[in-house]
Amino acid sequence: MPLIQEQIQQFYDSSSGLWEQIWGEHMHHGYYGERGDQPKERRQAQIDLIEALLQWANVERSQAILDVGCGIGGSSLYLAEKFNARVTGVTLSPVQAERAIVRARDANLGETTKFLVADALDLPFADNSFDLVWTLESGEHMPDKVKFLQECYRVLQPGGLLLMATWCHRPTTTQPLTVEEQKHLAEIYRVYCLPYVLSLPEYETIARNLSLENLRVADWSTAVAPFWNVVIDSAFNPAALWGLLWSGWTTIQAALSLGLMQDGYRSGLIRFGLLCGTKPNANYSGS
């Protein structure tokens, strides 16, 4: 396994238990309304993000779902129950996969869900296996964004939908990243075990090269940015601080660096990008 992926695995092996204890099963942003001005309880905001993404992408039903970067199964179990679907989740972290299996069993969803330790750049599934590939805040961890989206596309059934939400940096079409912005991103990469992030237009270009149809993108930075204020407020209560002491230096660094994301959103450097598109049907001839 490449070094960056070993680091990601170790990061989530050591931090996922604390995250669940303090923040619950959903390891992703919350949704605070289009203008980011709706006060919400944190877990409700995270559920609302899932629902808002499904609505934005016009997902009304699904039978076979792949959750790429499933964490401890938050989205997977939610989608399995909502759609009465078969859901498979993949993660680099054995600790996360084992916890997701337990949570599925406890929720009486063990028969319809499956969780595997797998590399998203080399998915262990046949072509055309899923009608929805869902990837919520995992693209930023991928060391090869092109290969990542190629694999998501490969396992999609013809007519199936790819729905991705991921951390991005601001577009650079009119102004390159400044030295200070590059330093800011480098610190985020170091703390959160990210190889690099792209701008949303760059992801769109990759997706167009895959021949995805009905391709759409959106920037929801304003809608999700308040999440980091909530996380910072909750990270330094006595229970969280005690948990941090037992979770290792890497997790402590991540907690102490939450302000990097908060400042990144505030300055416009960090963006929350959405992308969805469908795989052409089998009779599609291409160009």
pLDDT score at 37: 97
Q: Is residue 129 part of a domain?
A: yes
Q: Is residue 283 part of a domain?
A: no
Residue 139 gets which letter from DSSP? G
Q: How would residue 12 be classed by pLDDT, with cut points 50, 70 and 90?
A: confident
Q: Is residue 92 part of a domain?
A: yes
Q: What are the pLDDT digits (tens) for 210-242?
A: 999 999 999 999 999 999 888 777 665 555 554
Q: How far apart are CA 263 and CA 131, in angstroms?
A: 37
- Contact residues for 132 (Cβ-Cβ < 8 A; gap 6+): 59, 62, 64, 65, 66, 79, 85, 160, 161, 163
Q: Is 169 helix (H, G, I), strand (E, B) or coil?
A: strand
**This prediction's pTM:** 0.91
Q: How far apart are CA 74 and CA 108, in angstroms?
A: 14
Domain of 83? 3-278
Question: How many domains does the chain fold into?
Answer: 1
Q: Is residue 285 part of a domain?
A: no
The CATH number for 192's domain is: 3.40.50.150
CB 168 within 8 A of CB 203: yes
